[in-house]
Amino acid sequence: MIDELLTGKTLDFQQKKYICNKMLTCEPRMEALILKNFTEEDYARINRRRIGTGQIGGKACGVLVARKLIEKNLPEYTDSLISHDSWFIGSDVYCEYIREKKLSDKVETGLYRVLHSIGNDPIVIRSSSILEDGFDHGFFGKYSTVFCINQGSLKNRMQELKAAILKVYESVSGASAVEYRRTRGVSEAEEQMALLVQRVEGACRGDYYMPLASGIGCSYNPYKWVENMDPHEGMLRLVVGLGTRAVERTPGDYPRLVDLGHPKGSLYTTVAERHKHSQRHMDVLDMNAGKVVSVPLQNLLPLLNQKEVRKVLSHDVEAEAMLEERGRYRAVYFADCNGIVYDNEFISMIRNTLKMLESEYERPVDIEFAIGLGEDGRIKMNLYQCRPLRQITQQNVKIPDMIDGEVLFDIKCASMWRSKSEKLDVIVRVDPQKYYECPYVQKFGVGRVVGLINHHFKDSGYKMLLLVPGRIGTSSPELGVTANYVDISCFSALCEVAYSKAGCNPDLSYGSHMFQELVEADVFYGAITENSKTKIYCPEILDGYKNTFEEICPEKSEFKDMIKIYEVTNANVWLWLDSKAGRAVCQVRCDT
Domain 2-71+84-200 and domain 208-388 have a common topology: no
Mapped onto helix, strand or coil, the DSSP state of residue 486 is: helix
User: CA-CA distance, 560 to 430, in Å (whole number)?
Assistant: 10
Alpha helices in 145-270 (DSSP H): 154-170, 175-183, 244-247
What does the mean pLDDT of the chain come to? 88
User: CA-CA distance, 490 to 513, in Å (whole number)?
Assistant: 17
Mapped onto helix, strand or coil, the DSSP state of residue 227 is: coil
User: CA-CA distance, 314 to 261, in Å (whole number)?
Assistant: 22
Q: Does residue 592 carry a pLDDT above 50?
A: no
- Name residue 584's amino acid: A
Rounded average pLDDT over 401-410 = 83
Give backbone dihedrals phi and psi of 126, rounded to 5 degrees, phi first: -110, 140
Rounded average pLDDT over 124-137 = 83
Mapped onto helix, strand or coil, the DSSP state of residue 235 is: strand
Rounded average pLDDT over 387-402 = 75
Q: Which residues pair with 418 in a beta bridge?
A: none
User: CA-CA distance, 572 to 466, in Å (whole number)?
Assistant: 17
Task: List the beta strands (DSSP E) in 470-582.
Answer: 471-472, 480-481, 493-497, 524-528, 534-537, 563-567, 572-578
Q: What is the pLDDT of residues 295-334, one digit of tens each?
A: 999 999 999 999 999 999 999 888 888 888 888 888 899 9
| Domain range list for the chain | 2-71+84-200, 208-388, 407-589
Mapped onto helix, strand or coil, the DSSP state of residue 585 is: strand
- Which of 96, 112, 95 has the alpha carbon at shortest distance from 104? 96
Mapped onto helix, strand or coil, the DSSP state of residue 334 is: strand
Contacts of 65 (CB under 8 A, 6+ apart): 30, 33, 34, 37, 386
529 vs 510, which has greater pLDDT? 529
Q: Does residue 515 carry a pLDDT above 80?
A: no
Q: What is the pLDDT of residues 36-70, one digit of tens each?
A: 999 999 999 999 999 999 999 999 999 999 999 99
User: CA-CA distance, 329 to 517, in Å (whole number)?
Assistant: 46
Confidence of residue 589 (pLDDT cuts 50, 70, 90): confident
Q: Which residues pair with 108 in a beta bridge?
A: none
- Name residue 67's amino acid: R
Rounded average pLDDT over 78-95 = 94
Write out the H or E segment, with its range, that includes residue 427: strand 426-430
Rounded average pLDDT over 429-444 = 92
Mapped onto helix, strand or coil, the DSSP state of residue 443 is: helix
- Which of 341, 347, 389 has the alpha carbon at shortest distance from 364? 389
Q: Specify the pLDDT at position 505.
A: 72
Q: Which residues pair with 365 in a beta bridge?
A: 388
Give backbone dihedrals phi and psi of 345, rounded to 5 degrees, phi first: -65, -45
Rounded average pLDDT over 485-512 = 79
Q: What is the DSSP string of 117-161?
A: HHTTS-EEEEEEETTTTSSS---TTTS-EEEE---S-HHHHHHHH
Which of 84-93, 168-177, 320-329, 508-517 has the least mean pLDDT?
A: 508-517
Strands 524-528 and 493-497: parallel
How many helices (H) and strands (E) in the chain?
21, 29
User: CA-CA distance, 130 to 26, in Å (whole number)?
Assistant: 9
517 vs 360, which has greater pLDDT? 360
Contact 280, 297 (CB under 8 A): yes
User: CA-CA distance, 573 to 408, in Å (whole number)?
Assistant: 9
221-254 burial code (b ≥16 CB/10 A, e <16): bbbbbeeebebebbbbbbbbbbbbbbbebbbebb
Q: Specify the pLDDT at position 425.
A: 95
- HSE at residue 206, side-chain half, CA atoms within 13 A, is 12
Q: What is the pLDDT of residues 25-34, one digit of tens each?
A: 999 999 999 9
Write out the H or E segment, with its range, that includes residue 522: none
478 vs 138, which has greater pLDDT? 478
Contact 424, 568 (CB under 8 A): yes
Q: Specify the pLDDT at position 473.
A: 80
517 vs 201, which has greater pLDDT? 201
What is the CATH topology of the domain spanning 2-71+84-200?
Answer: Dna Ligase; domain 1 (3.30.1490)
Q: Does residue 591 carry a pLDDT above 60?
A: no
Rounded average pLDDT over 513-527 = 73
**DSSP 8-state class, residue 401:** P
Confidence of residue 511 (pLDDT cuts 50, 70, 90): low
Confidence of residue 486 (pLDDT cuts 50, 70, 90): confident
- Which of 520, 481, 200 has the alpha carbon at shortest distance from 368? 200
- The class of domain 208-388 in CATH terms is alpha beta
**DSSP 8-state class, residue 587:** E
Q: Does residue 112 carry a pLDDT above 70?
A: yes
Q: Does residue 516 carry a pLDDT above 90?
A: no
Most confidently modeled range among 215-229, 294-308, 390-404, 513-527: 294-308
Sign, Cα dihedral of 548, 553, 558, 563:
negative
- Name residue 133's amino acid: D
Q: Specify the pLDDT at position 275.
A: 92
460 vs 420, which has greater pLDDT? 460
Write out the H or E segment, with its range, that includes residue 300: helix 297-300
Q: Does residue 158 carry a pLDDT above 90?
A: yes
Q: Does residue 356 carry a pLDDT above 50?
A: yes
Q: Give whole-number Cα distances, 521 to 69, 427, 461, 570, in Å.
A: 28, 18, 14, 25
